[in-house]
Amino acid sequence: MTNKKSPAPIIVALDGMTKKEALKMAQELKGLVWGFKVNDLLFEGVEIIKKLKKFGKVFADAKLHDIPNTVANSVARLSKAEADLITVHASGGVEMMRAAKKVAGKSKLIAVTVLTSQKSGKSVGQLAKDAQKAGVDGVVCSADELKKVKKLKNLIKVVPGIRPEWYKSKDDQQRIASPRQALENGADFLVIGRPITQSPSPLAALKKILAEVKI
């Protein structure tokens, strides 16, 4: 009996889609990627998480930032819906992240440092240190900043702003890297949206990326 190859460490961002479009995309890419990221779809309710779980794991990119109790309540709800990864903003502070981690259950709590649509500052390293101090499971950062956080042990490193070299469209991402660059710099997961989801053939685009990084 042969072992089934593990899905690639790619999270497909389903931003700007309807539920129907997101589920269709997830079904098409099932088994080839780790899972799928939802952000704006969460405003319609957490039911989308369980529906997507039929096709892979789910990254609930809620980017929570509020007083500790409010953030904890939201994290508990997302965890109950069986999200695999949940994001909070590291800038919310150590106590907020600790409160969120206490109620995260089986979900992994990931702290966002500086958005890849913004220019980086010296704060990325400090925010990552705060995240580690709070006991969260990982951080979101750009590929360029992986060198600042890789010395922090036992943190999952999720990297958005991934743009294959053949993707030439300009968008709002300021700090980008190719899939290969990000993996070589130490990324654990690559978050890729538009190069796949806006392609005439999302499956073909994904396979092109997998070939590029030899996965």
- Cβ contacts of residue 5 below 8 Å, gap of 6+? none
pLDDT at 166: 83
pLDDT at 106: 97
> Is 168 labeled as catalytic in the residue annotation?
no
pLDDT at 47: 96
Domain range for 84: 8-212
pLDDT at 203: 97
Overall number of domains in the chain: 1
In a domain, 134, yes or no: yes
pLDDT at 174: 55
pLDDT at 120: 56
In a domain, 28, yes or no: yes
In a domain, 1, yes or no: no
pLDDT at 154: 85
d(CA 157, CA 172): 22
In a domain, 149, yes or no: yes
In a domain, 3, yes or no: no
Phi, psi angle pair for 23, to nearest 5°: -70, -35
pLDDT at 196: 96
> Which CATH number is 44's domain given?
3.20.20.70
- Cβ contacts of residue 139 below 8 Å, gap of 6+? 90, 110, 111, 112, 113, 127, 128, 131, 149, 152, 155, 156, 157, 158
In a domain, 2, yes or no: no
In a domain, 171, yes or no: yes
Residues of the chain under the 50 pLDDT cut: 1-3
Q: Which of 19, 51, 53, 63 is catalytic?
A: 63
pLDDT at 155: 92
In a domain, 27, yes or no: yes
